[in-house]
Amino acid sequence: MQQINLNLKILRQKNSNTDGKFVEYKIPVSTDASFLEMLDELNNQLEKNNQEPIAFESDCREGICGSCGIVINGSSHGPVRGITTCQLHMRHFKDGDTIYVEPFRSTSFPVVKDLIIDRSSFDRILQTGGFVSVNTGGIPDANAIPISKQISSLAFDAAACIGCGACVATCKNSSAMLFVSAKVSHLALLPQGQVEKETRVLNMVEQMEKEGFGACSNTLACEAKCPKNISVSHIARLNREFLSAKL
């Protein structure tokens, strides 16, 4: 086990109505520790010194829930592609490194405290159409509704989106197009989602605009920083579904 010494500069902010500022911390940490375990250890030290711990989110710590997303040295989820913050380990940093830690930045993701943001805008988008409400009956047999391997794979890839918001934090326009397109694509590709596909895409896009998310920047930064490697091809499908529904 190797130990390294790090210089952390973490953005502390009481709430969305106050200005935040970077506070510097020094901490020795094992290279075997995850990034969140490092923050846990830092909070232990702060509490021992009667200082307020750093507020950050986590739940599964297995790259499933999407709640742990933060910006590390200007990059959503850190320097390694295809993983969430909780899957990032300290072996990817060097002894003496200075690490800047910030919350995801977007007007649609207001800061709750320190590194915690409010992602309820995503929930409101999903509530407008990210579901199948028609009565599909009981659980059908596996082969009752034939779906080609190509289509099922595309739908599964879209369904892998965990709604972490890295796409929004990475996009220079704070666009939620990758998130919305993944949710629309997932259901648009499957037979169960066909009945409501037109109202779904219209309602979800309308709500996305109401929440204040920007337009797609076409830089592909969202795909590059998505921990589940969601393809921007789903954005093209969203545009086609939206145009078809409008017509």
Report the C-alpha gap between 29 and 34 in whole angstroms.
10
Superfamily of domain 120-246 in the CATH hierarchy: Alpha-helical ferredoxin (1.10.1060.10)
Q: What is the CATH number of domain 3-112?
A: 3.10.20.30
For residue 142, what are the contacts with CB-CB under 8 A and spacing of at least 6? none
Contact in structure between 165 and 84 (CB atoms under 8 Å): no
What is the pTM (predicted TM-score) of this model? 0.93
First-last CA distance in the chain:
62
- What pLDDT is stored for residue 142 in this prediction? 65
- What pLDDT is stored for residue 27 in this prediction? 97
- In Å, what is the CA distance from 71 to each residue of 2, 68, 188, 218? 25, 10, 32, 21
Q: Domains of the chain: which residue ranges?
A: 3-112, 120-246
- What pLDDT is stored for residue 136 in this prediction? 65
Q: Mean pLDDT per 10-residue run, the chain (247 residues)?
A: 94 95 97 97 97 97 95 97 97 97 96 97 97 77 82 94 97 98 95 92 98 96 97 96 95
Query: 26 forms bridges with which residues in the sheet?
Result: 7
